Each structure stands twice: as C-alpha cells, then as structure tokens.
Amino acid sequence: MESLGFAQRDEALLQTLTLDVLKSSEIEGEVLDAQQVRSYIARRLGLDIAGLVPADRRVDGVVDMTLEATRDYAKPLTQERLSRWHASLFPAAGAAKLKVGAWRDDAKGPMQVVSGPMGRERVHYEAPPAARLPEEMTAFLDWANRTGDMDPVLRAAAAHLWFVTIHPFDDGNGRIARAIADWALARSEDTPRRFYSMSAQIRRERKEYYDILERTQKGPLDITEWMRWFLGCLDRAIAGTEVSLAAVFRKDGFWKTHAGLSLNERQRLMLNKLLDGFVGKLTSSKWSALAKCSQDTAQRDIVDLIDKGILAKDSAGGRSTSYSLKAPRPAAGR
C-alpha cells in the first residue's frame, strides 16, 4: 500500500471503510445504500469525490461508529463510548421500542438468539441475565483496555467473542462486537488506516461465523476453535485485499504508466471516471456533458487520447460511436 500515491491510498481507504459498513450490516440482514455510505464516509474523511449523495440518519450512525472505532483507537473502551455507538445505530428507535444507549433490562424475558417460525423456534444462545450485566461489562472493559499481557491480535479475537457473548444491548450487539474487534486491531497496528475489511470477509463466511459462535458459546470455556477461526478469517481478509482493491491498484498503475503524458483537466477527469467503472458506453456527447465542454472540444480530447494510445474506438460506428480504455500491453516475459 505504501507504493500507492496519496490519492489512490485515500481511495483504497474509502473503499475499505465502505465495505466494512455495508458488510457488517448485511451480516445482520440489513442492506444499506452503497452510494449513501460511500458519500458520507468521503465527506467525513474530507475527500473530494464526485457525485456525492445525501445519506439518511441510519447510514450516518453506522458510519460514525465505524470511523470512531478505528480513528480513535488510542482511546479506551468505556460504557459511555459503547452507549454512544449503540445510540448511533438506532437513531429512530422509539418506534421499535428499543432501550437505546443503555444495557438491556430483560423486561420482555431472557435475551435469546433464535431462528425458525413462530412456535418452532430454535434457541441458538441465551445471554446472561440483565442483573449480571454491570459486573460482566466492568470485567470485560477492564480486560479489553489492558496492554502488554496478551498479543493484541489475540485480544481482538477474544474481545469480539466476549462482548457478543455478554450481549449487553437489546439489539446491535453483533455490529458493535465487530466494531470492537476493529478498534482492537487498529490498536494492534497502531494506525487508524486499514486496507482490509474483516466484516467483508465475515460476510463471505457468514454461515461458518454463526456456527463457530454457537459452538463456542454452548461449549466449555476453551475458545481455541474460535480463536483459530478468527485468525484464519483475518488472514483471508488481508489476502483478499488484492482482489477487493484491484480497481485501485489498476488506477494507480495506469497513472504511473502515463505519468509523462501531457493531459488537460477534462481528459484527466474522464479517464478517472473510466477507471472508476464508467457505467454504459462513453460517447462524445457524454464526454461533452460530464466535462462541461462543447461537442467539438470533446471530440478533440478523445482523438488526442486515441493518438496517444490511451483510448480506442469501439467496433460499432456511426451515430453510436463509443470509446473505451485501450487494454494495456502485457509486460515482457508474461
């Protein structure tokens, strides 16, 4: 990642955080709008990204929690901090009658994780009773904030399991557990900038994730199997970065290859749009509209890029003439 330019590193960070927010919510069956998530993260990071769209309060809250967990990794985990995260996840929780920003009280009965149709529910897990929460959470927070007595990556794995096993809130425990793991991993790396997404990898392995959680929570106190799974998932998340950030690497390679060329701002704008995954066919009229220039200027820009070997005319001609990025030549010896 150090070999990337600053702009590409920012793009990689934006893409990773967007994946984190989207996939952590998807694990719980909640689908957020990808454009809203990306736009709100870009605004929070101060990035100049074209095509930003407004986000609703739900998106704001999940993004705020995710960013705060990793950017403020040096700050201790506290009850107040967790309560703030919980409140940000449920900005309109009154309708759902959730107890927001405070430990659950079990007024509706024991906290259980269940599945299946009504009358034939399967209980996957029953959390400790609410009366034990102050004691359990005090012990957890004291342990989570320690340093030096345990490998910090192992602490991240155990913290995720411990928190979701206590299940201190009415809802949102899984998302907060993953944010706690991200906080702990950021502490282990001593940096808020992460270019891999644990939540995206957990989403790919969702069934195994829930299976290992259930087996561990119903078993004895030996959590070795969970720790092995978490570390394997982390390893696969890091390995998968090359795939998830392929477009970022391709964009960086493109600009390094063409660093010596003289290009105007309109050409740079449109080439970046193509590299970011332009939807549909690029025509001179679309170029004119997006680059805010005349049709003649757009055509001159396009012809210049064709002459420089960057663009190629697509096979269909006439009124439907369109253009694409020219495929790069394979490196010698490949």
Q: Where is the domain boundary, 244, 275, 300?
A: 244
- Mean predicted lDDT score pLDDT of the chain: 89
Helix (H) or strand (E) holding 122: strand 122-126
Mark whether 156 and 296 lie in a shared domain: no
Which pLDDT value is given to residue 319?
A: 64
Residue 318 is part of a domain; what is its CATH number?
A: 1.10.10.10
**Structural domain count of the chain:** 2
17 DSSP 8-state letter: H
User: Do 321 and 189 lie in a common domain?
Assistant: no
What is residue 332's predicted lDDT score, i.e. its pLDDT?
Answer: 45
For the entire predicted model, the pTM comes to 0.80
232 is a domain residue: yes
Indicate if 192 and 228 belong to the same structural domain: yes
Tokens 């359990």 belong to residue: 136
Domain carrying residue 60: 6-244
Q: Which helix (H) or strand (E) holds 290?
A: helix 284-291
The DSSP symbol for 319 reads G
Q: Amino acid identity of 311?
A: L
Amino acid letter at 129? P
Are 137 and 152 in contact by the 8 Å Cβ rule? The answer is no
- Identify whether residues 284 and 165 lie together within a single domain: no
Contact 14, 42 (CB under 8 A): yes
In the prediction, which pLDDT does 95 show? 46
Q: What is the pLDDT of residue 50?
A: 60
The 10s digit of each residue's pLDDT in 132-181 is 999 999 999 999 999 999 999 999 999 999 999 999 999 999 999 999 99
- Using left for φ > 0, alpha for ψ between -120 and 50, and beta otherwise, residue 90 falls in beta
Q: Which of 212, 244, 276 lies at the terminal end of a domain, its last residue?
A: 244
pLDDT digits (tens, 9 = 90+) for 227-260: 999 999 999 999 988 887 888 888 888 888 888 8
Q: List per-residue pLDDT tens for the chain, 334 residues long.
A: 877 878 888 888 998 999 999 999 999 889 999 989 989 999 998 887 766 778 778 899 899 999 999 999 999 999 999 999 999 999 875 546 788 899 999 888 888 887 777 777 788 888 999 999 999 999 999 999 999 999 999 999 999 999 999 999 999 999 999 999 999 999 999 999 889 999 999 999 999 999 999 999 998 999 999 999 999 999 999 998 888 788 888 888 888 888 889 999 999 999 988 887 787 889 999 999 999 999 999 999 999 999 999 999 988 655 678 999 987 654 444 3
Q: What is the pLDDT of residue 245?
A: 83
By DSSP bridging, strand 122-126 and strand 311-313 are unpaired
* Helices and strands counted in the chain (H then E): 15, 4
Single-letter amino acid, residue 149: D
The residue to which tokens 């003439």 are assigned: 321
What sign does the CA torsion over 145, 150, 151, 153 have?
Answer: negative
Which residues make Cβ contacts (< 8 Å) with residue 195, sequence separation at least 6?
A: 1, 12, 13, 16, 241, 245
> Based on the domain organization, do 167 and 280 belong to the same domain?
no
Pair type for strands 323-325 and 122-126: unpaired
pLDDT at residue 317, as a whole number: 59
- Which pair of tokens denotes residue 238? 């890091």
303: helix, coil or strand? helix
Residue 6, pLDDT score: 83
**Domain contains 35:** yes
21 and 95 inside one domain:
yes
Q: Which CATH number is 209's domain given?
A: 1.10.3290.10
Residue 332 lies in a domain: no
Is the domain of 238 the same as that of 286? Answer: no
